[in-house]
């Protein structure tokens, strides 16, 4: 297998999809099957010789990452943020649509009244940079071939995306504090009709129907789906089939699995919280491109991989924070 052939392959197929299909043992199309066969030979050859001459593995992961992270839609984050990309050396600045604070005074004809103003606030984004370093042993490459590269690619992408989600949610969690109107304290351990109504009303007041989103752990969405009272037969059917309802009072409900964990074992979705987002609350930009570096370590019989420059910046401030709410359960 020559270098040009691998490059051609990577150009003609979605490498991330191929990696996912390999891990899930899904059926390949004819093209994909030939691609996997050649990729398998290629990976095993690296395992045998310990030489990845053109740093193909790194190039492969880079391509998969850039395909998936910068081009693929990400349902939850797309609902919450204006997504975009900025260059590695560029800087961004966020603007919120200002509150309408103009006052219409009662006036005598021909007279003057006090001026009133609107305040356009600028907010600087918070930039985070995440990085993964790992090893891929020659033995692993010889044994599993292409699959070892596929697993590494898919896992790295999943962790980077999850970490970004965690960072953003933590920032949202941080900005809503007790004492504000958008902090709803729920006395019990799961959401009740009272608190869900309160949250839904808060979101409906600030967003069009269908634009409000409630995001929480699946356990809380399940509890909210099964609230007794006004369930129609359709709703009962939906809960029985899927376990969750898709909407609550016109607000989308998005469950996040409690089984999704970060590499260190912590759970992606924080406990005791339900977040409500009314429309877009700010911007989330990917900054620059991911770079993957690689070096063969012959003495330790492995390839060292460094997945660097996964940089993103998010921006929202107290004005846009009014479009978010959270329920905190006891």
Partner 1 sequence: MAKRNLYIVRNEGTSPVCITTKDTGYCIEGGQSIPLSMEELIYLNGTTPVFRNGLLFFDREEEEAIYDELKIHNWKDILHNSDIENLILHPTYDGLRKIIGIESISYFERIRGVHVGLINAGVDINNKVSAVIAERQKEFRNQKIKSAIVLSKTEPVEAPSAAEVAAMSEQIARLQAMVENLSKASSAPQKKAEPSVASVPAAKKETDDAVAKKPAAKKTATKKPSAPKAKN
* Count of residues interacting with partner 1 (CB under 8 A): 29
Tell me the closest approach of the beta carbon of residue 276 to partner 1, in angstroms. 13
261 interacts with partner 1 by CB under 8 A: no
Which of 179, 205, 230, 241 is in the footprint of partner 1 by CB under 8 A? 179
How far apart are alpha carbons 147 and 52 in whole angstroms? 16
Tell me the closest approach of the beta carbon of residue 167 to partner 1, in angstroms. 11
Contact pattern for partner 1 over residues 195 through 214, marking x by CB under 8 A: x-xx----------------
228 interacts with partner 1 by CB under 8 A: no
Tell me the closest approach of the beta carbon of residue 283 to partner 1, in angstroms. 23
Closer by beta carbon to partner 1, 55 or else 198: 198
Which of 33, 103, 118, 185 is in the footprint of partner 1 by CB under 8 A? 185
How far apart are alpha carbons 184 and 66 in whole angstroms? 39
Tell me the closest approach of the beta carbon of residue 11 to partner 1, in angstroms. 42
52 interacts with partner 1 by CB under 8 A: no
1 interacts with partner 1 by CB under 8 A: no
Q: Which of 177, 190, 175 is nearest to 222 (CA)?
A: 190
How far apart are alpha carbons 140 and 147 in whole angstroms? 9
Q: Which residues bind partner 1 (CB under 8 A)?
A: 170, 173, 177-181, 183-189, 192-195, 197-198, 266-267, 270-272, 327-330
């Amino acid at each position: 297998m020559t270098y040009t052939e691998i490059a051609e392959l990577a150009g003609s197929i979605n490498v991330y999809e191929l990696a996912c299909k390999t891990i899930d043992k899904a059926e390949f199309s004819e093209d994909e099957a030939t691609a996997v066969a050649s990729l398998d030979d290629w990976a095993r050859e690296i395992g045998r010789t310990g030489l990845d001459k053109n740093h193909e593995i790194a190039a492969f992961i880079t391509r998969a990452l850039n395909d998936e992270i910068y081009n693929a839609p990400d349902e939850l984050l797309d609902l919450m943020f204006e997504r975009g990309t900025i260059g590695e050396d560029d800087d961004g600045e966020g603007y919120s649509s200002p509150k309408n604070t103009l006052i219409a005074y009662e006036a005598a004809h021909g007279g003057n009244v006090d001026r009133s103003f609107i305040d356009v606030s600028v907010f600087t984004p918070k930039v985070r940079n995440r990085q993964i370093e790992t090893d891929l042993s020659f033995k692993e490459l010889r044994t599993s071939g292409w699959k070892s590269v596929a697993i590494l690619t898919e896992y790295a992408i999943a962790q980077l995306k999850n970490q970004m989600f965690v960072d953003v949610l933590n920032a949202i969690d941080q900005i809503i504090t007790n004492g504000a109107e958008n902090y709803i304290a729920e006395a019990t351990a799961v959401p009740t009709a009272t608190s869900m109504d309160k949250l839904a009303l808060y979101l409906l007041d600030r967003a069009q129907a269908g634009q409000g989103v409630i995001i929480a752990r699946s356990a809380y969405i399940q509890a909210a789906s099964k609230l007794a009272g006004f369930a129609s037969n359709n709703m009962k059917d939906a809960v029985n089939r899927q376990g969750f309802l898709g909407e609550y009072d016109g607000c989308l409900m998005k469950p996040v699995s409690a089984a999704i964990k970060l590499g260190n074992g912590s759970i992606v979705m924080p406990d005791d919280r339900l977040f409500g987002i009314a429309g877009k609350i700010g911007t989330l930009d990917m900054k620059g491109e991911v770079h993957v570096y690689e070096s063969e370590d012959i003495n330790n019989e492995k390839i060292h991989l460094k997945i660097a420059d996964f940089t993103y910046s998010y921006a929202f401030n107290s004005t846009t924070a009014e479009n978010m709410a959270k329920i905190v359960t006891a």
